[in-house]
Amino acid sequence: MRVTDIINVRGTRDYFGDDLKKLEFIRKIFESTAQNFGYEKIEFPVIEYFELFAKKSGEEIRNTMYTFIDKAGRELALRPEMTPSAVRAYLNHFQHYPKPIRLYYYGTVYRYDEPQFGRYREFRQAGIELIGASGVLADLEVILFLLEVYRKLNLLNKIKLKINNIGIYRKLFKCGNIDEDRQEHLLHLIDKGRIDEVLELLKDNKIYGVIEALLSRANKDQIIDESRKIGCDVSDEINYLEDLLGYLSHVGQVVYPDIGFVRGLAYYTGVIFEVLHPDVSFSIAGGGRYDGLVEIYGGSPTPAVGFAIGVERTSLVLPEMKEEPKQKVAVAILSKSAEALRLATELISGLHELGVEANFSLKGTASLSKLIPELLKEGYTHLAIIGEKELSNSTVSVKDLLKRTQTEVKLPLTADSLRQIF
């Protein structure tokens, strides 16, 4: 294999420098928010049984899963999302705990999508699941958690939270005698904006007019009236959404109700939402209520709601990060004596205790005129010198590479003496 052949797998990438700092910043903000809201961290295996996701994740995810047969003949998959894993973990470990169960996670997921801007085959999700709680307040908690993350990321004044109640569609589909597989397909088509196909499939069904009104964003009174005419009253589902919007009214323009909006995941049963940003054409986070999923996997009926943040997608709209200038110290040993090495090691340890980045200068014994420009290129702010002169004077010479000044630090080295310089 040639060196030029050693490249990333398509749809994956290396992260370093500012890009990695953004990902770590998002993770830090998300995890601190989770702890403030009282959520417990959980980590799931990357590999799960294929059936776990095939059962109810939806057409798009099933068709993009990485699947394989292991040596025991079992059909497995790399996780394409986290919610089914959370439900499995709940059934395995938490179903007898007092409710609700609050879990949060952060990790990589895998989908065989066509790579493009904002779409990768390996990417990170940061999410929560609130299991065992129904009602508006539970939905409100999850949404406020999500908005708090984006507030701390300084994005709240830019994003919009699109929100709906997919329970409106579920009730109409049931009324129209549409089975779950067809429901899933119709929701997938709506999610992809293929409205004409949806209406064509429903043209002979009594719910056609109400679905058309929903997808054309008719007012709620018209939708309720149309639904009552065919004996499929959706007023409770619409009023539930209105109640939640009332609770969210204090966040102002951030919340954007959209009666024609659905999400493609097949397990959603109630409130659904997505976070949008004007700089990108795709959602950067999303979630919703899935009250039937625990039961589908064999548990007792259990309400649940959650969300997942697309970490890479969020990083694309994150403002440039301005870091405080950091001190970075190189320690040059210009003596072959054991005492010089001991003193250099002591100095580096002392600086580390103060939170200052410090390490040995590995440039050899080159002249300072050549050494200093090299250190500046690498981001060093100071050069500490321990040579024969310093040893004889019981000092350490410290050059401020930015200010071009020099200070002598008297031995023994103490925290106070170092603080005066660094």
d(CA 309, CA 48): 21
Query: Which residue shows structure tokens 């895998």?
Result: 110
d(CA 367, CA 287): 60
Above 80 in pLDDT, residue 321?
Answer: no
Mean residue pLDDT of the chain comes to 91
Above 70 in pLDDT, residue 337?
Answer: yes
Residue pLDDT, tens place only, 178-187 = 988 888 889 8
250: tokens are: 């204090």
DSSP-derived pairing of the beta strands 40-41 and 101-110: parallel
Helix/strand/coil for 83 = helix
Give me the mean pLDDT over the 173-177 stretch.
92
What is the model's pTM? 0.84
**CA neighbor of 258 nearest in space, from 317, 337, 190:** 190
151: tokens are: 């507030």
Helix, strand, coil percentages for the chain (3-state, nearest 5): 40, 20, 35
Residue pLDDT, tens place only, 31-53 = 999 999 999 999 999 999 999 99
Helix/strand/coil for 129 = strand
d(CA 145, CA 102): 12
**CA neighbor of 404 nearest in space, from 378, 377, 374, 372:** 372
Q: Percent of the chain scored above 70 by pLDDT?
A: 98
Evaluate whether the domain defined by 328-421 bears CATH number 3.40.50.150: no
pLDDT on residue 40: 97
d(CA 125, CA 112): 16
Q: Do residues 358 and 352 make contact, with C-beta atoms less than 8 angstroms apart? A: yes
d(CA 4, CA 12): 17
pLDDT on residue 62: 78
Query: Which residue shows structure tokens 């992260």?
Result: 15
**CA neighbor of 129 nearest in space, from 265, 37, 47, 257:** 37
**CA neighbor of 81 nearest in space, from 117, 109, 60:** 109
Location of each CATH 3.40.50.800 domain in the chain = 328-421
**CA neighbor of 130 nearest in space, from 288, 237, 314:** 288
**CA neighbor of 297 nearest in space, from 76, 63, 89:** 89
Superfamily for 3-166+263-316? Answer: Bira Bifunctional Protein; Domain 2 (3.30.930.10)
Q: Is the peptide bond before 301 cis (omega within 30 degrees of 0)?
A: no
Location of each CATH 3.30.930.10 domain in the chain = 3-166+263-316
Above 60 in pLDDT, residue 22?
Answer: yes
Residues 6+ apart with CB under 8 A from 235: 224, 227, 228
Q: Do residues 139 and 246 make contact, with C-beta atoms less than 8 angstroms apart? A: no
d(CA 266, CA 139): 19
User: For residues 257 and 368, which has the higher predicted lDDT (pLDDT)?
Assistant: 257
Helix/strand/coil for 355 = coil
Above 60 in pLDDT, residue 258?
Answer: yes
Give the number of other CB atoms < 10 A from CB of residue 231: 8
Give me the mean pLDDT over the 50-69 stretch.
85
Above 90 in pLDDT, residue 252?
Answer: no
d(CA 201, CA 331): 74
253: tokens are: 């323009």
Q: Maximum Cα–Cα distance for the chain, whole Å?
A: 99
27: tokens are: 């993770």
- pLDDT tier for residue 297 given thresholds of 50, 70 and 90: very high
Q: Do residues 128 and 306 make contact, with C-beta atoms less than 8 angstroms apart? A: yes
